[in-house]
Amino acid sequence: MLKASGVVLAGGKSSRMGTNKALLAVHGQTMIEHVVEEMRKAFREVIIVTNEPHLYSGLGVRVITDLIPGLGPLSGIHAGLTASSYEYSFVTACDMPFIDHRLAAYLVQEAPGYDVVVPQKGDYLEPLHAVYSKACIAPIKMCLENRIFKIIAFYPAVKVKFVGIERMRPLADLEKVFFNVNTPQELVHAREMAKGEKHGPKDSGS
């Protein structure tokens, strides 16, 4: 297990879904259970960042709140990096039901010498499936204080490694791994994709 943290953001409003999406099930477990399970396979510490800590106290990992609530994912990253016991944190969302611990670990292993390791597909980045160092805390705070909430806004202030997703193909199903569930339609799609992939928490074994 890597000496790094897995930080799971779960402080959103789920306004497009209309109900707390972290607690919706895809492949036999809630999305947040799946993400936490994968993070535990890779990292010594797992931290959930939420503003409703009571909802996640049963998952057996650290649960913390935003230091500056109501400002979106960048504030969650800020709180997670601040709380982390390690220099590096892999930060992800509670709505990514196909996340894979091997890919998360790979990105952390790419991190020495950098402050951010972020997957890149063409012009598009995956900042909620990325690694951040403690050096990001101060520039993120500055963004939040200036009411700048776009996650990648602070990247020019730190050392960023862009990892083309083609390099990840051997480790993960790229069609699925970055898929995030925002709407009821995407939930239906995620459940379709999950079919035949992974069964309930306990298989009969026969």
Binding-site sequence positions for Mg(2+):
95
Determine contact, residues 47/80, Cβ cutoff 8 Å.
yes
Cα separation, 166 vs 143, whole angstroms: 31
Q: List, as residue ranges, the binding site.
A: 9-11, 21, 66, 95
Burial class for 169, CB neighbours closer than 10 Å (0-12, 13-18, 19+): exposed
Task: Write out the binding residues for ligand GTP, residues 102-161 only, by CB under 6 A.
Answer: 128
Residue 182 binds Mg ion (CB under 5 A): yes
Q: Which of 71, 83, 135, 153 binds ligand GTP (CB under 6 A)?
A: 71
Cα separation, 95 vs 24, whole angstroms: 9
**Among the residue ranges 90-98, 140-148, 150-158, 166-174, the one whose residues contact ligand GTP (CB under 6 A):** 90-98
Determine contact, residues 26/66, Cβ cutoff 8 Å.
no
Cα separation, 80 vs 132, whole angstroms: 10
In the list Mg ion, ligand GTP, none, the entry touching 13 (Cβ below 5 to 8 angstroms by class) is: ligand GTP
Closest distance to ligand GTP from the beta carbon of 205 (Å) = 33
Q: What's the token pair of residue 179?
A: 């898929």
Chain residues in the site for Mg ion (CB under 5 A): 95, 180, 182
Chain residues in the site for ligand GTP (CB under 6 A): 9-16, 49-50, 66, 71-73, 75-76, 93-95, 128, 180, 182
